[in-house]
Amino acid sequence: ALDGRGVEGPGFFLGPTVLDRVSPGMVVGREEIFGPVLSLSYAGTLEEAIRQANAVAYGNMACIFTQSGRAAREFRERVQAGMVGVNVGVAQPFAFYPFSGWRSSFFGDLHPHGPDAFLFYTQRKVVVERW
């Protein structure tokens, strides 16, 4: 665990923080949080990992660390999250990647990055003709 409360300076800031052994019974295990905070939870089986990830109302991101290609494929197909990471801590390495939360992590009609952003600024037209 890493305690980020010791940041000094003007304003209200939290330094990098790692919360270890987060369980679904904890508020941080049920709510969506942002900032320099990483919550780590552990699962004994792949089924348990998928169940934990899908048990919350939010679906912004889910990551799994594994050496099994089969487990990675099953996790990415079954987990209900818009951004899925396999052996990476954050599944959005660049700002231009789609920020595609699902379920309660998403508001609106279109996502703010990726192809949906182009659609937001595009006036589309459909023309049907027969000669």
Can you spell out the DSSP letters for 79-128? S--SEEEES-S-S--STTS----EETT--SSS-SSTHHHHHHT-------
pTM: 0.66
Q: pLDDT value at position 112? A: 62
Residue owning tokens 């192809």: 115
83 within domain boundaries = yes
Percent above pLDDT 70 for the chain: 69
CATH number at residue 55: 3.40.309.10
131 within domain boundaries = no
130 within domain boundaries = no
Give CA–CA dist 105/81, Å, rounded. 9
Q: pLDDT value at position 121? A: 66
Give CA–CA dist 22/30, Å, rounded. 10
26 within domain boundaries = yes
Does the pLDDT value for residue 109 go beyond 70? Answer: no
* Phi, psi (degrees; rounded to nearest 5) at 116: -65, -35
Summarize pLDDT for 43-92 with one digit per residue, the tens. Answer: 999 999 999 989 888 877 888 899 999 999 999 999 988 888 898 877 66
Provide the mean pLDDT of the chain. 80
What range does the domain containing 78 cover? 17-120
